Amino acid sequence: MWKNRNVWIILIGEFIAGLGLWTGIIGNLEFMQALVPSDFAKALILFAGLLAGVMVGPIAGRVIDSQSKKKVMLAAGFGRMISVIFMFMAIEYQSILFMIIFMIAIQISAAFYFPALQSSIPLIVKDKDLLEMNGVHMNVSTIARIAGTALAGAMLVIMSLNSLYLASMIAYSILFALTFLLNFQEEELPETKKGKGKSGSFKEMLPVLKDTPIALTVLILTFIPILFIGGFNLMVINISVIQDDQTIKSWIYTIEGIFFMIGAFAVKRVSNEKNMVPLLFVFVSIIAFSLFSLYFADIKWMTLFSFGLFGLAVGCFFPIAATIFQTKIPKEFHGRFFSFRNMLDRVLFQVVLLGAGILLDTIGLQLMGIVFGFLSLTVIIIYGLKLLRQPITIAEQKTP
């Protein structure tokens, strides 16, 4: 795998783009914190961009399955690069409207780019290397997140917001240039095929999911880490207010990122094809515990413990989930499936984001952690009981 030129291009591109992404996110938080006092209003601004990403999801799935994945990534990369111009205008005119346009443009680009990238990885590396590749890819994005947030924090001290977004735009430009260097053999396009996958409709995903219940189970379990991720930025802002400490933001991102990397590195050593689903239940249970521990968000070391524990669990969860999707879903459906998953994640993210905004304004962060923790446990218990019954059902079906 490490001799594959495409692997290095993807990883280097991910690191550079991650630097741009996270300097931009810190800039977004800083911009909103100065102009938007309400947590719910912040959530609505983030919601606008995510909604746009969901609306183009079905189109993105059809395009990815019917066109060259490299060309889709190039077009999306160019769009993401150009979208930063709107943020320059937002800063110039102190306009939330231009920021919303920026959020919409960048999320539409992401709705095409990330499913295309996930569909390309199985074409670049062998199935036996997928878990390692997914883990390394997520580790690189996490290193970029740590470096990006640290760089953004340092830049904000000595430079303006414009400098942050200029750095972000340069990073997206480098990613766009690197994407040109990708060279991999793509499968035959659907219009030249016969049979399944020809129409490119999202409806064709339903029988595929029905035939692969393990993928459906993992999709549902993904809701639990989204409960934490959806309100992540709002929680970080809230914690900095509770503790009256602006530096805690960088500490939270750093600790969570480091433990995410540890989890993504260790997961290959503890998992195999037979224990992946039970391990997913273990990791989502740890995420539920980390949500409960947010009750002690007024204590600095306990806050860092909560986010570190979450980072460790989610660093193990997502590489396994991605590997299951890439190996169990037929390749001719990868574009539509990853677009569908992207849409589902965004819808759940929006619901959690708005819910977190309302709960933070009403009951506060600590009680919100308890509510989300109980919701996570409910999902875990329901699908854990189904998992325990599943082997008995399979055994009876196979008995003559």
Kindly give, in sequence order, each residue whose CB lies less than 8 Å from that of residue 309, ignoring residues fewer than 6 positions away: 259, 286, 289, 290, 293
Tokens of 128: 């036996």
Better-scored residue on pLDDT, 387 or 281 = 281
Radius of gyration of the chain (CA): 21
Q: How confident is the model at residue 335 (pLDDT cuts 50, 70, 90)?
A: low
pLDDT at 66 over 70: yes
Better-scored residue on pLDDT, 271 or 379 = 379
Better-scored residue on pLDDT, 245 or 389 = 245
* pLDDT, tens only, 196-222: 444 455 566 677 777 777 777 788 888
Q: What pLDDT was estimated at residue 391?
A: 47
Burial of 3 (0-12, 13-18, 19+ CB in 10 A): exposed
| Residue ranges covered by each domain of the chain | 5-183+202-398
pLDDT at 124 over 60: yes
What is 289-350 written as a DSSP string? Answer: HHHHGGGGTTSHHHHHHHHHHHHHHHHHHHHHHHHHHHHHS-GGGHHHHHHHHHHHHHHHHH
* CA angle 8–313–25, rounded 5-degree value: 60
Q: For 5-183+202-398, CATH number?
A: 1.20.1250.20
Q: What pLDDT was estimated at residue 303?
A: 87
Q: Of 82, 392, 32, 30, which Cα lies nearest the Cα of 246?
A: 30
pLDDT at 51 over 50: yes
Q: How confident is the model at residue 392 (pLDDT cuts 50, 70, 90)?
A: very low
Cβ atoms 65, 190 nearer than 8 A: yes
* pLDDT, tens only, 262-277: 887 777 777 666 677 7
Q: What pLDDT was estimated at residue 188?
A: 58
Q: What is the Cα–Cα distance from 398 to 135, expressed in whole angstroms?
A: 35
What average pLDDT is seen over the chain? 77
Matching residue, tokens 């996110």: 25
Better-scored residue on pLDDT, 393 or 368 = 368
Cβ atoms 91, 165 nearer than 8 A: yes
Highest mean pLDDT among 57-61, 74-78, 354-358: 74-78
Q: How confident is the model at residue 192 (pLDDT cuts 50, 70, 90)?
A: very low
The model carries a pTM of 0.66
Matching residue, tokens 């989502």: 284
Q: What pLDDT was estimated at residue 199?
A: 46
The answer to which of 119-128, 183-192, 301-310 has the lowest mean pLDDT is 183-192
Kindly give, in sequence order, each residue whose CB lies less than 8 Å from that of residue 305, ignoring residues fewer than 6 positions away: 293
pLDDT at 244 over 70: yes
Q: What pLDDT was estimated at residue 390?
A: 57
pLDDT at 48 over 80: no
pLDDT at 90 over 80: yes
Better-scored residue on pLDDT, 392 or 371 = 371
Cβ atoms 63, 115 nearer than 8 A: no
pLDDT at 284 over 70: yes
Q: What percent of the chain has pLDDT over 90?
A: 1
Q: What pLDDT was estimated at residue 77?
A: 85
pLDDT at 186 over 60: yes
Better-scored residue on pLDDT, 248 or 259 = 259
Q: How confident is the model at residue 289 (pLDDT cuts 50, 70, 90)?
A: very high
